[in-house]
Structure 1
Amino acid sequence: MRIVVLDDYQRVARAYGDFDSLPEADVEVVHEHIADRDALVAALQDAEVVVAMRERTAFPAEVFERLPKLRLLVTTGMANAAVDFAAAAAHGVTISGTTMYGNTKSSNTAELTWALILACRRHVVTEDRALRDGRWQTTVGSDLAGSTLGVLGLGRMGTQVARIGQAFDMRVIAWSENLTAERAAEAGATLVSRDELFAGSDVLTVHLKLSERTTGLVGAAEFAAMKPSAVLVNTSRGPIVDETALVAALIAGSIAGAGLDVYDVEPLPRGNPLRGAPRTVLLPHLGYVTEASLRGMYQQVVEDIAAWQAGAPVRVLAPPA
């Protein structure tokens, strides 16, 4: 049985997942992203099992059509908007997921959110570069205490971020389409209107799931409504924020800065305007990249494959609603 593991940038898949325990398994691990579709199909030829890292690699109908031997697609996470579930079913491909963090209760994305918030508000990257160039104290930071944290999406991750905001003595406000005042209060936040969220936030952090409804939700009108002193942080999904509008807002000074861990296209292309945008802190989608998270994911990947081999697949994903 040929198994191909995609996008193992850190070269930890074999160390964290016991692939050797799988009977008659020929495992190939790919350490670089394969963006070209023909190259991807060539790399996956004869594979019965493919392991995909979240939504990094798209699996549309065309790919399933060109991989007739594929029978199991394991995706890290319990949802994947880059997979055509109907095409997978039509070609007899089972899709299993992982709970991302294995058996841990990791808050790694929430932690990274705060790393970006602090980096933006205290100009950490700018001062690091200035110091290395021989300059000393080139910026003035902004206090978190007494300022307003706006949370766009108050689910599990947004709630963790909100509670940390309270520890910094920030006022926390939140909005999402179905959020109630009671649910917001449980997280230590105040429910506000959509307009109030953008206008009132000193730090606006995005924690929504990507869907047709949320794609492009933060665009030119929202940036125009924000304070010129506000910063945007997105550790959720890139397409929720209109990248073109964000770059324009940064160049115009409509907002003070942005901290990003996610993008429309990943890895972020070399020519993407965000790379040259001012007052940004850009990370290569590190929100989930911790030892505990990756170890838990790859352990569950092996469990998924073993269960499928035994004829009783686990963590089988249903098409998105």
Structure 2
Amino acid sequence: MKIAVLDDYQAVAERCGNWAALGADASVEFFTQPIPAEQLPERLKPYDVIVAMRERTPFPGTLLRQLPNLRLLVTTGSRNRAIDIPACRELGVPVCGTDSDPFLAAELAWALVMALYKRVADNDADIRAGRWQPVIGQSLKGTTLGLLGMGKLGQRMSEFGKVFGMNVIAWSPNLTPERCAPFGVECVGKQQLFERADVVSIHMVLSASTRHLVGEAELGWMKETAYLVNTSRGPLVDEQALCRALHGGRIAAAALDVFEQEPLPADAEILQVPNVLLSPHVGYVSWQNYQTYYHDAVEDIQQWLAGSPVRLLEA
């Protein structure tokens, strides 16, 4: 049995899973670099089992139909919109997921909020350059946190904001005051959120209707002193519009963990704009979460071999 573990960028998968438990007949190969899309059919053709790292490598039906040996697809996490589940079902390939810390991305989002308010990156750069206290941070207390989305992550962010004395407002297309009330959050209209928030943090699912949810108009509604934080999905924000807003000083700064193209190309425009704090899509990354991912991935393979697959993804 040949197993491919994809997109192991930080070379942790081998250490975080007990792959030896699969037995001597299992040959496991770990890929630490992304495979170009045009090479995927040929490179992945030999494998019986593929372990995908979240949505780093897409698996559309066109690719799946070129993998005649594929018998099991495992993804870290309990959802992967980059896998064509109906095509897998048609081909008789089960798709299994893993457990994951559902609140981990909120930790990074809050770290980015704090870094923007307290000018952490600026202070680090200044002190290394011999400059002492040239910038001034801000207090969080009394400022307004605007949340795009009030699912599990938005709810956790609202708790963080409340602890720091912030006023918290939220919007999403179907959000109601009743859903916000238990968290002490004010439900507002979309334009009102962008106009009132001192920092907007995005916690939405990417879909056709939410692509470029934050664009020229929304950035134009924001205060010149406001911040934008995105730890959800890159295409939720029109990256070119954001670059223009930052170049033009229309908003104070942004912090991004996700991008329209990942890994971020060396010539990406966002690397050239001022007042942007960048992170390489690590909102779900921690040693503990990796250990959960790869422990469960091994268990998924074992249970599938035993004829009792677990954590099957149905959609």
**Deviation, structure 1 residue 62:** 2.2
**Deviation, structure 1 residue 100:** 2.0
**1:277 maps to what in 2?**
273
**2:299 maps to what in 1?**
303
**Deviation, structure 1 residue 99:** 2.4
- Is 1:62 aligned with 2:62? yes
Mapped to 1, the partners of 2:207 and 2:245 lie a distance apart of 24
**1:20 maps to what in 2?**
20
Counting only pairs closer than 5 Å after superposition, residues 107-122 of structure 1 correspond to structure 2 as 107-122=103-118
1:160 maps to a residue whose letter is R
Mapped to 2, the partners of 1:140 and 1:153 lie a distance apart of 30
Instruction: Say how many residue pairs are matched.
Output: 314
Q: 8 Å contact 1:120–1:280 — kept in the other structure?
A: no
SS at match of 2:218: helix
- Is 1:257 aligned with 2:253? yes
Identity within the alignment, %: 47
Mapped to 1, the partners of 2:40 and 2:129 lie a distance apart of 42
Mapped to 1, the partners of 2:85 and 2:225 lie a distance apart of 43
TM superposition score normalised by structure 1: 0.94
SS at match of 1:57: coil
**1:95 maps to what in 2?**
95
**Root-mean-square deviation over aligned CA pairs:** 1.3
- Is 1:164 aligned with 2:154? no
**2:34 maps to what in 1?**
33
**Deviation, structure 1 residue 71:** 1.3
Q: 8 Å contact 2:103–2:152 — kept in the other structure?
A: no
**Deviation, structure 1 residue 80:** 1.4
Which sits farther off after the overlay, 131-140 or 155-164?
131-140
- Is 1:179 aligned with 2:179? no
Mapped to 1, the partners of 2:278 and 2:40 lie a distance apart of 27
Mapped to 2, the partners of 1:168 and 1:314 lie a distance apart of 41
Mapped to 1, the partners of 2:125 and 2:189 lie a distance apart of 39
**Deviation, structure 1 residue 7:** 1.2
SS at match of 1:172: strand
**1:220 maps to what in 2?**
216
SS at match of 1:126: helix
TM superposition score normalised by structure 2: 0.96
Which whole-Å deviations, capped at 9, do the CAs of 1:238-275 have from their partners, x for residues lacking one?
11111111111111111111111111121111111111
**1:290 maps to what in 2?**
286
Which sits farther off after the overlay, 162-171 or 72-81?
72-81
**1:133 maps to what in 2?**
129
